[in-house]
Amino acid sequence: MGIAAENPAEELAELIVLFQREGKSYEEARHLADEIAEDKDLWLRTLVEKELGISYDATTSPWRDALAMAASFIPAAMVPIIPHMFLDGKLAISISVGASLVALFVLGVGKGRLVQKSPILQGLEILAIGAVSAGIGFALGEAIPRLVT
């Protein structure tokens, strides 16, 4: 059964607190939690959704999730590689970095539209996170060989 079977009293109390945070009185939260706890499957689904913030149903197909991840990752991973297939040296690196930054911004804009937040701000956020991550990776790639030798 999982978490609820290991310590049902604690999980029931946690569910009551979660319902109270949503604005229900203690009595309402207790009654609702007791009703949910009668159906073990519903209890587990509710705990997963309330505690982790994810839909239990959305995680039921690992193959579909893996295919979706591959379908999105493979084209995105090609963005920085393609310039190196046709060009050499600093020009290929410059185009690769520029294309990657543009792709990160576009990804952020798409995220902004999906989550209904400012697309421009979301684009800049993803761009900044990607740029900082790349900078850290570059710095480590430069520093580690010098430390080892």
Distance CA 84, CA 95 (A): 9
pLDDT per 10-residue tile (average), the chain, 149 residues: 64 87 91 89 82 65 82 89 95 95 94 89 95 94 89
Q: How many domains does the chain have?
A: 2
Q: What is the pLDDT of residue 58?
A: 58
Range of the domain at 74: 62-148
pTM confidence score: 0.55
Residues 49, 77, single domain; the answer is: no
Q: What is the pLDDT of residue 56?
A: 61
Residues 95, 135, single domain; the answer is: yes
Residues 55, 67, single domain; the answer is: no
Distance CA 66, CA 76 (A): 15
Residues 43, 83, single domain; the answer is: no
